[in-house]
């Protein structure tokens, strides 16, 4: 298998750390995000520190044609994408009916549609070569509904379901699909999603630890990887057995801001 990885959302947080970790293993990277300046800074650092080649593609995945343009760009450069890391995503806080619908539509485009489109475009080549790996960055939010983040939680549930389904379809090939489901992570996600003041982020994991956990799980071909043992136990053995209304109330409390708690 070759060793070129395409990483979306590569300008910050987990995406930066995934790109760094891949480069530290000698792999070339295609860096995708909106901020071309940040991507160029990362490109210079990775090439200097690890002697690899980094390609920058500035793209806004909220645009419906973004995936096709990214694919066309890598094809034009003659690049073979051996590892696809669908990391880009964002959230938003508030009651669904009070939120700006356009923001939630953009969230669905980035978190689901762009991910599906990129996977479809690059997976065909992987299957034909009988070699490749895909990592989808989801969230432990995938395992329950999320009042006050209704659309975000639903998009992550979609990602985990989609990733596992295609993993089964790929059985018998040397191509794998892994869903990484971290809990809270100390990234710009908090500010971008208007999540300041939510206690859940007080003990957030570091982006580099989450990136290494997910990347290593991808290499092993794991179906779903949760970055903490306690969270894995909760998601798999506690949440499924809590009465639905009780679980919904707990989930909402989890997302309430400090100044708004009852």
What residue ranges define each of the domains in the chain, with the CATH number in brackets? 4-260 (3.40.50.720)
**Cβ-count burial 200-226 (b if 16+ within 10 Å, e if not):** ebeebbebebbbbbbbebbeeebebbb
215 is catalytic: no
pLDDT reported for residue 260? 45
Distance, in Å, from the CA atom of 6 to the CA atom of 136, rounded to the nearest integer, reads 12
- CA–CA distance from 109 to each of 14, 24, 129, 200 (Å)? 20, 31, 29, 26
pLDDT reported for residue 201? 47
Backbone angles phi, psi at 67, to 5 degrees: -60, -45
Q: Which of 21, 122, 152, 215 is catalytic?
A: 152
For 132: left if phi > 0, alpha if psi spans -120 to 50, otherwise beta; the answer is left
pLDDT reported for residue 259? 45
Please answer whether residues 115 and 166 qualify as being in contact, where contact means their C-beta atoms are separated by less than 8 angstroms. Answer: no
HSE on the CB side for 106, CA within 13 Å? 13
Distance, in Å, from the CA atom of 170 to the CA atom of 256, rounded to the nearest integer, reads 40
Q: What is the mean pLDDT of each run of 10 residues along the chain (262 residues)?
A: 92 96 98 97 98 98 98 98 97 95 98 98 98 97 92 97 98 97 74 52 79 97 87 68 76 66 34
* pTM across the whole model: 0.87
pLDDT reported for residue 261? 37
pLDDT reported for residue 256? 75
Distance, in Å, from the CA atom of 149 to the CA atom of 155, rounded to the nearest integer, reads 10
Please answer whether residues 118 and 45 qualify as being in contact, where contact means their C-beta atoms are separated by less than 8 angstroms. Answer: no
């Amino acid at each position: 298998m070759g060793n070129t990885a395409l990483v979306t959302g590569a300008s910050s947080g987990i995406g930066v750390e995934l790109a760094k970790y891949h480069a530290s293993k000698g792999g070339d990277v295609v860096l995708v995000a909106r901020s071309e300046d940040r991507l160029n800074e990362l490109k210079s650092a990775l090439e200097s520190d690890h002697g690899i080649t980094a390609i920058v593609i500035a793209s806004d995945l909220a645009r419906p044609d973004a995936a096709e343009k990214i694919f066309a760009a890598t094809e034009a450069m003659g690049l073979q994408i051996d590892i696809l890391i669908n990391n880009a995503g964002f959230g938003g806080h508030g009651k669904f009916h009070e939120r700006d619908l356009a923001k939630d539509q953009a969230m669905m485009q980035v978190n689901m549609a762009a991910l599906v489109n990129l996977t479809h475009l690059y997976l065909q080549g992987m299957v034909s070569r009988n070699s490749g790996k895909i990592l989808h960055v989801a969230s432990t939010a995938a395992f329950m509904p999320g009042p006050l983040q209704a659309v975000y939680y639903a998009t992550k549930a979609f990602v985990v379901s989609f990733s596992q389904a295609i993993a089964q379809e790929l059985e018998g090939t040397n191509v794998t699909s892994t869903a990484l489901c971290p809990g809270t992570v100390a990234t710009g996600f908090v500010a971008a999603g208007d999540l300041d003041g939510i206690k859940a982020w007080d003990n957030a994991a570091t982006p580099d630890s989450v990136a290494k956990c997910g990347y290593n799980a991808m290499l092993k071909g794991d179906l779903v990887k949760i970055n903490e043992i306690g969270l894995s136990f909760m998601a798999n053995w506690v949440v499924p057995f809590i009465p639905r209304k009780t679980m919904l109330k707990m989930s909402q409390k989890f997302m309430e801001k400090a100044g708004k708690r009852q």
